[in-house]
Amino acid sequence: MNVLNAHLVRVVFLAILLASCAPQGPGLNTASNRPGPVVGTLGAVFDMTPAYPGYPWTRDGHPVKPEELSTSAGPSHCGWQSATFLGIGWPVGTLSTSSAQARQYIRDPRAAVKASLHDRLELNAKLPSDARPTGYAYGSIQVYLSPTDQDEAVYLVGPSGAERWPRSDPMTLCE
């Protein structure tokens, strides 16, 4: 084997080794090269949501700013980090500059924020027949709204099912 072939074999070996060590789960979806989880439950993604600005969302394949859509952990100084806050510019597609141009939905499975939010959360939801995708995605997870209850909830849909997150109106703020 000549020197060039030996070098090529080493490069290929290193590439395979690095690819096999690449992280899976939240981060870069190596199957599609889009941000987000490869596969998994919604709980696996949103039980440990990162702090603001949270996960990088896209709409119709294009990155969006957190003022348009964000999912992030609740503020830790209030003890709400186990909850996920979803903020969406309203109407859909708006870059919100104030709370009047946004809606807030909260996933709070541990009732850290408010019991009323916890009680209205559905972790195994059935998507209403009139629900439609908004175009927002984080990897394989999509955001859906139903015209009949968009004032009450938002739906997050992944490969393993759907969740219905209640709207917080007025918005829940940490003091």
Intervals of the chain under pLDDT 70: 1-40
pLDDT digits (tens, 9 = 90+) for 71-87: 999 999 999 999 999 99
Give the pLDDT score at 174.
Answer: 87
pLDDT at site 175: 78
Tokens of 154: 């938002």
State the Cα–Cα distance between residues 29 and 22, nearest whole angstrom. Answer: 10
Residues linked to residue 161 through DSSP beta bridges, in sequence order: 158
Cα atoms in the 13 Å half-sphere on the side-chain side of 144: 22
84-89 and 69-73 beta bridge pairing: antiparallel
What's the CA gap between 113 and 105, in Å, rounded?
A: 12
Q: Return d(Cα 55, Cα 26) in angstroms, integer.
A: 8
Q: Is the bond preceding residue 56 a cis peptide, omega within 30 degrees?
A: no
pTM for the structure as a whole: 0.78
